[in-house]
């Protein structure tokens, strides 16, 4: 039985797919570099830095969207970036958090196997997974409405 990468009928499928593709690329290059650093070291660094760069931009975008939504919804950091408290359906939460765990475990494991090498850049990759969770939460997460939306507006409006 095949597992679907993107759950059917769920919003934000592109975010989930991007997270899976990035994770697979990272795992393949990091493990290959841990086995054969002279051949795969440079591709592993490039993949790690590209994912970190994308993750940094995506994190800032998710933060900006969250700030915008916080005027009308009660957002929490745990709900936004870890999809806690019912912010995401279970299939989305499992897929996104699983990718974050895989990225973290592979980053630590490969950097530990070959310390003081280019594999240390892999430690930056979980920023990508965290940003994907944040993007999904900011754009598609379910958060309760503020009881008084005016409370978050400046006093002069």
What digits encode the pLDDT tens for the residues 61-110?
999 999 999 989 999 999 999 999 989 999 999 999 999 999 999 999 99
Is residue 157 in some structural domain?
no
Is residue 83 in some structural domain?
yes
Q: What is the pLDDT of residue 3?
A: 65
Please tell me whether the overall predicted TM-score, pTM, comes out greater than 0.85 for this model: yes
Is residue 30 in some structural domain?
yes
Is residue 80 in some structural domain?
yes
Is residue 32 in some structural domain?
yes
Total of domains in the chain: 1
Q: Three-state SS across 12-60?
A: CHHHHHHHHHHHHHHHHHHHHHHHCHHHHHHHHHHHHHHHHHHHHHHHH
Q: Give the number of residues written for the chain.
A: 157
Given a cut of 70, whether residue 149 has pLDDT beyond it is: no
Residue 77: which domain range? Answer: 13-142
Percentage of the chain modeled with pLDDT above 70: 92
């Amino acid at each position: 039985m095949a597992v679907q990468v993107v759950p059917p009928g769920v919003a934000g499928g592109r975010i989930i797919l991007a997270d899976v593709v990035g994770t697979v690329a990272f795992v393949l290059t990091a493990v290959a570099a841990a086995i054969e650093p002279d051949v795969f070291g440079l591709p592993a660094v490039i993949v790690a830095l590209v994912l970190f760069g994308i993750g940094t931009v995506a994190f800032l975008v998710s933060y900006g969207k969250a700030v915008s939504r916080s005027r009308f919804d009660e957002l929490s950091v745990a709900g936004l970036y870890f999809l806690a408290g019912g912010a995401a359906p279970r299939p989305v939460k499992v897929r996104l958090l699983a990718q974050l765990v895989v990225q973290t475990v592979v980053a630590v494991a490969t950097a530990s196997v070959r310390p003081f090498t280019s594999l240390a850049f892999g430690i930056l990759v979980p920023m990508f997974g965290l940003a994907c969770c944040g993007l999904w939460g900011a754009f598609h997460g379910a958060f309760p409405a503020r009881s008084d939306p005016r409370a978050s507006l400046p006093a002069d409006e």
